[in-house]
A and B are shown apart, each in its own frame.
Chain A
Amino acid sequence: GEDVEQSLFLSVREGDSSVINCTYTDSSSTYLYWYKQEPGAGLQLLTYIFSNMDMKQDQRLTVLLNKKDKHLSLRIADTQTGDSAIYFCAERGLNSNYQLIWGAGTKLIIKP
């Protein structure tokens, strides 16, 4: 079945850029998402990209999609302590009505 993989941790210095990577197996993915989960909170939709795009920018967030390699990344510019959270990559396939398939989440750790 479909699978989404992410590395579990990323540590960056405050003010640097963070790049969180994700790979997926479903070649029919239509939408790919990034969600943020802060401690004790729910899953916050950050941004998403349609599969016919290769880049989407939204303020400090840049999403890059390499459909050939099935690779998605989320770049956070000027990382702040408030960006500390777990970031989940998720995909929605063509054969699914609305089901999202999730990665395990990447914990972003900010060093002062």
Chain B
Amino acid sequence: EPEVTQTPSHQVTQMGQEVILRCVPISNHLYFYWYRQILGQKVEFLVSFYNNEISEKSEIFDDQFSVERPDGSNFTLKIRSTKLEDSAMYFCASSGTTGSSSYEQYFGPGTRLTVT
């Protein structure tokens, strides 16, 4: 069964450093998302991406964040200068474009980001 994959599973970085979180969405999906979950808090939407541009973003997704689809398979989230409060589990998701597949967001296993 196709699945969303994410690398790395755990990333430790120092405050102020740049990190790139990587995701490989399901191959025929065209909508991509990033969510995060700070420990003990709710899952929060960050951004959705379609046709090589951001289609929706939350207030959390400020200038420190960017997303990119550098090739035909990867979808990345970059945090330019990490802060302690960026420590969280980051989930990538993807969905299709037609019929019921457009309503179904499939998630990867997450990348745990720890900022020290």
Q: Which residues of B contact A (CB under 8 A)?
A: 4, 31, 33, 35, 41-45, 48, 55-56, 58, 91, 93, 95, 103-110
Residues in B with CB closer than 8 Å to A64 are none
- A43-B43, A104-B41 known, 17 other contacts, Cβ within 8 Å: A4-B42, A41-B109, A42-B4, A45-B106, A48-B103, A92-B103, A96-B56, A97-B55, A99-B45, A99-B48, A99-B56, A100-B105, A102-B43, A102-B44, A103-B42, A104-B42, A105-B42
User: Does any Cβ of B come within 8 Å of A87's Cβ?
Assistant: no
User: Does any Cβ of B come within 8 Å of A101's Cβ?
Assistant: yes
Specify which of A42, A98, A105 is in contact with B109 (CB 8 Å cutoff): A42
Contact between B42 and A102 (Cβ–Cβ < 8 Å)? yes
CA distance A50 to B103 in the complex (A): 10
Residues in A with CB closer than 8 Å to B45 are 99-101
Residues in B with CB closer than 8 Å to A31 are 103
Specify which of A48, A99, A101, A105 is in contact with B104 (CB 8 Å cutoff): A48
